[in-house]
A = this chain, B = another copy of it.
Amino acid sequence: MSYVVRPWALRDLKDVMRLIRVSSGWKRNRTLREWSCPGVVATVLREDGFGMDPKFGCLVAEVPPDQRSKDGHTVVGYQFHYFSYCTWKGRIVFGEDLYVMPEFRGKGIGTSLLSQVAKLALAHGCSQFRFVLANWNQPAMALYEKLGAINVTARDNWVVWHIEGRAMQELAERVTQ
What is the interface of chain A, defined by CB distance below 8 A to chain B? Answer: 4-5, 20, 24, 31, 33, 35, 37, 39-40, 44-45, 48, 55-56, 80, 82-92, 94, 96-97, 111-112, 114-116, 118-119, 121-122, 127-136, 141, 144, 147-154, 156-175, 177
Instruction: Give the contacting residue for A163; candidates B45, B129, B166; CB below 8 A.
Output: B129
B residues less than 8 Å from A159 (CB atoms): 132-135, 141, 151, 153-154, 160
Cross-chain contact A171 with B84 (CB below 8 angstroms): no
Contact A163:B134 (CB < 8 A) given known A37-B88, A116-B175: no
B residues less than 8 Å from A115 (CB atoms): 171-175
Cross-chain contact A163 with B147 (CB below 8 angstroms): yes
Contact A87:B122 (CB < 8 A) given known A5-B177, A174-B111: no
Instruction: Give the contacting residue for A130; candidates B31, B128, B162; CB below 8 A.
Output: B162
Complex Cα spacing A41 to B116, Å: 28
Contact A163:B135 (CB < 8 A) given known A118-B168, A168-B129: no
Contact A88:B24 (CB < 8 A) given known A148-B171, A161-B150, A171-B115: yes
Cross-chain contact B175 with A161 (CB below 8 angstroms): no
Most buried by B among A44, A87, A112: A87
